[in-house]
Structure 1
Amino acid sequence: MRTIEPIAKFDFAFSQFCLRHRFSLPFARVSQAISHTGDGHLYAVIGLLAWLIDDTLGLMFLLTGLLSFALELPLYWASKNLFKRRRPQELSELLPSFITPSDRYSLPSGHTAAAFLMANLLGHFYPDTQILALSWASLIATARILLGVHFFTDVLIGALLGMSCATSAIAIMGA
């Protein structure tokens, strides 16, 4: 476990930097709104709209998205229960949490995984949206840190998980 000690120290120091300043509460209010866009409902709307607007490419986008999430969700839950990493506020009363997380453990960030999964799919199927989609996913990842429910490495691994699942689904679908 000594090999991950420097990572844990970095995560804690980074969380302190992000959460212990006079602007924490205003940042948390904005972060909560940003984070809410990654709760899941928007992904279904995007997929259905793509299908309604563009029969062929939109249907492939929707089906690839469903496969991506079918890959991502079991890996996400297995990882959470394998690592059982406690959330920032559980490790120190010095670190506030501005929302109640939907589950117990922090690694990986599910919001971040889903956001980067969707950003990858959007960028692949609709290249003009790539910069906007990746920016939006990065804002969700940042919001999760600023809300005090994830460490930096939680969102980093979440982003890698989401991108990997999207890339795998694109390859499987031959899209």
Structure 2
Amino acid sequence: MSVLQQRFIAFDVSLYYWCFGARHWPLASTVSRSLSKLGDGSLYLIIGLLLAWLEPVHGINFLLTGLLAFAIELPVYLFLKQTIKRDRPCDRFNDITPQIIPADKFSLPSGHSAAAFVFATLIGFYYPDLMLLAYAVAGLIGLSRVFLGVHYPTDIIAGSVLGVGAGLLGLVLNSFLI
């Protein structure tokens, strides 16, 4: 491992410990759990279905593009997790007790971040007035995963890049299907 890689990992771990330490701030753990649950996935489908049903201008396209984007994001996410196999910080360090039980064993990339950023990218495209709010919520969902002790900051960054990429690819592919 190169010196640059070692420094990067040390920085990532230091940033992780700073964020994880923030769980002691008043309400940080409660808010982080709520944000993490918000990113579990079912809300994205519910919002997509509601928009398809109630919003005549972009609702159907939003839902279809979302299904396509998530069909791209999910297998890539699973492939990366199973290929990289990065231990979660709560499994690597003895002094970390996670605030939640993660759904799987590995941490890179963050699936919550990937999904949140797919959704934010589509919201930003179809409903530009909500773009900043959507990306802010996506960022908070990702950050909550660090606060809860189950992801490193770079897991969140990787998930965010994956999510934006899958969202954009879904938009491009959907434009060819229309």
Interval of TM-score (by shorter of Structure 1 and Structure 2): over 0.9
Q: Is the partner of 1:20 in helix, strand or coil?
A: helix
The residue aligned with 1:96 is 97
How far 1:137 moved relative to its partner?
Answer: 0.3
Q: Which amino acid aligns with 2:51?
A: A
How far 1:16 moved relative to its partner?
Answer: 1.3
Question: Could you give the per-residue CA deviations for residues 20-56 of structure 1, whole angstroms, max 9, x where no partner exists?
Answer: 3672584122100111000011001110111011235
Equivalent-residue separation in structure 1 for 2:66 and 2:22 (angstroms):
39
The residue aligned with 2:143 is 142
Whether the aligned pair in 1 keeps the contact of 2:23 and 2:148 (CA below 8 Å) is no
The residue aligned with 1:19 is 20
How far 1:8 moved relative to its partner?
Answer: 1.4
The residue aligned with 1:131 is 132
How far 1:93 moved relative to its partner?
Answer: 1.4
TM-score (norm 2): 0.93
The residue aligned with 1:159 is 160
Equivalent-residue separation in structure 1 for 2:39 and 2:166 (angstroms):
17
The residue aligned with 2:29 is 28
Structure 1 residue runs without a partner (length 5+)? none
Structure 2 residue runs without a partner (length 5+)? none
How far 1:94 moved relative to its partner?
Answer: 2.1
Equivalent-residue separation in structure 2 for 1:14 and 1:52 (angstroms):
43
Q: Which amino acid aligns with 1:72?
A: E
Cα RMSD (Å): 1.6
Q: Which amino acid aligns with 1:33?
A: S
TM-score (norm 1): 0.94
Q: Is the partner of 2:34 in helix, strand or coil?
A: helix
Whether the aligned pair in 2 keeps the contact of 1:12 and 1:151 (CA below 8 Å) is yes
How far 1:6 moved relative to its partner?
Answer: 1.9
How far 1:96 moved relative to its partner?
Answer: 2.8
Equivalent-residue separation in structure 2 for 1:22 and 1:43 (angstroms):
26
